[in-house]
Structure 1
Amino acid sequence: MRHFTQDILTVADELAEAYAEVFTAPPWQHRNKEKTRVAFRERLETDAHRPGFRAVLALSEHGEIDGFATGWTTLAPFRTDRAYAQVTRRLGAVRVDELLVGAFEVDELGVRRHARGTGLGRRLLSALTATVPDGRAWLLAWSQATDTLAFYRRIAWEEPAPLPGDETDIVVFLAPK
């Protein structure tokens, strides 16, 4: 495992390639690989400068990225771009402030197909969140990514119940206590 902060940008192109491979395979096969790669690469330029940003890469014996995890500290006010508005709708603003603001947000976790089933995802997630204050970490996942949801449930990440009648296509998970 190799740990990064803003120096992740030194391997941004390789990471973007790995990201695109992971997030254009099922269940995300509807995504265009090149557009996904470019969009992630551009987003990484900003994300690497967020407070508390860190990344962990798992490299093969040939130096290629087998898996990755990135995240940062969630600040107030809670964001409204990407899927964040759905998080607020699912949990409510009060619980977002209580559970997520000030906690470490796991933004991305991906393992290339050839490295799956080896425990690498669990090791990456553990390495990324091992030193978060008070063990407070969270992430969101797409409700149609059934293997991903099963993975988080299997490793005991907890799902706060959604507000009644406000289902979304994302699921929020909190790090086990």
Structure 2
Amino acid sequence: MATDAAGTVGVPLAGPQGPYCTLLAIRTQLQEGEGAVAAPPTPEVRVLRGEDVLAHADALRSVYVDAFCAPPWNEDEEKAAEFAARIPRDARRPGFTAALAVAGRDVLGFASGWTTSPPFPIDRCYPQAAAGLGARRTEDWLCGAFEVDELAVRPGAQGCGLAGELLEAVTAGAPEGRSWLLTSVRAPRAMAFYHRQGWCQATHPSPDGKGIVVFLGPRHPARGLVPLPL
């Protein structure tokens, strides 16, 4: 998932498996020996806290470019530069956590986020989220909870389930299970992904518009309080 111009979280999803996953699958079907296909190393998800992520800033920027310069996000070099520039600032936020999918020396994907401190932010697309939930629910459900800001996987590594693993890893330490994120109603595949991961859609803007959708994590205690769409 990535932050687009509106500041929402999306996830780059591919239908068929990427070449990395295809190679890995082929390798598991063959025995070692002559003619066997050499597979890339199995990805490992590592969790980093705070400024420990800065050692991997260049790799995160590279993943961001690979994941979000293509449709439906179509982000440009300027957006990638903005993302890279805010990594040091984000790493100092309360509760900052990053999960990296690493295979050998390669970073194949990452997820990152932090604890939403009160008062609720008023920049980026946060006002749309607050308008959708209302002031009381915004404060009760989102403030003090872990906000997923980015989730991105290189195209060649998509289709392996890495996005789901990264999402689970980065939210594992959410306070009292309270995690949340924003995405755009214009990204139906991203929304479908979150539903499959057990996230609960808390706001329901018109699918024909440009609204922002709030999702609550699978262990968020307010899941049962989410009103049904009209």
TM-score, normalisation: structure 1: 0.91
Q: What residue is the counterpart of 1:160 in the other structure?
A: 202
Displacement of 1:37:
1.6
Unaligned runs of 5+ in 2: 1-44, 220-230
Query: In structure 2, what residue type is equivalent to 1:116?
Result: Q
Tell me: higher relative CO, structure 1 or 2? Use CA pairs within 8 A at least 6 residues apart: 2
Q: What residue is the counterpart of 2:40 in the other structure?
A: none
Displacement of 1:110:
1.0
Report whether the alignment pairs 1:67 with 2:109: yes
Q: What residue is the counterpart of 1:46 in the other structure?
A: 89
Q: What residue is the counterpart of 1:25 in the other structure?
A: 70
Query: In 1, Cα distance between the equivalents of 2:53 and 2:69?
Result: 22
**After the TM superposition, which residues 40-119 of structure 1 pair with which residues of structure 2 at under 5 Å, given as runs?**
40-61=83-104, 63-119=105-161
Q: 1:36 to 1:161 in 2, by over 3 A?
A: closer
Displacement of 1:99:
0.7
Q: What residue is the counterpart of 1:35 in the other structure?
A: 78
**After the TM superposition, which residues 101-140 of structure 1 pair with which residues of structure 2 at under 5 Å, given as runs?**
101-140=143-182
Identity, in percent, stands at 46
State the superposition RMSD in angstroms. 1.6
Displacement of 1:163:
8.3
Query: In structure 2, what residue type is equivalent to 1:121?
Result: A
Q: What residue is the counterpart of 1:3 in the other structure?
A: 47
Render the CA deviation track for 1:117-136: whole Å, top value 9, x for unaligned. Answer: 11111110111111212111
Contact 2:186 2:210 in 1 (8 A): no
Query: In structure 2, what residue type is equivalent to 1:120?
Result: L
Q: 1:142 to 1:161 in 2, by over 3 A?
A: closer
Q: What residue is the counterpart of 1:173 in the other structure?
A: 215
Displacement of 1:168:
5.3
Contact 1:90 1:168 in 2 (8 A): no
Displacement of 1:161:
3.4
Displacement of 1:84:
0.8
Contact 1:86 1:168 in 2 (8 A): no
Query: In 1, Cα distance between the equivalents of 2:129 and 2:68?
Result: 21
SS at match of 1:109: strand
Q: Greater CA radius of gyration, 1 or 2?
A: 2
Unaligned runs of 5+ in 1: none
Render the CA deviation track for 1:63-105: whole Å, top value 9, x for unaligned. Answer: 1111100010011000011111111111111111011001100
Query: In structure 2, what residue type is equivalent to 1:89?
Result: A
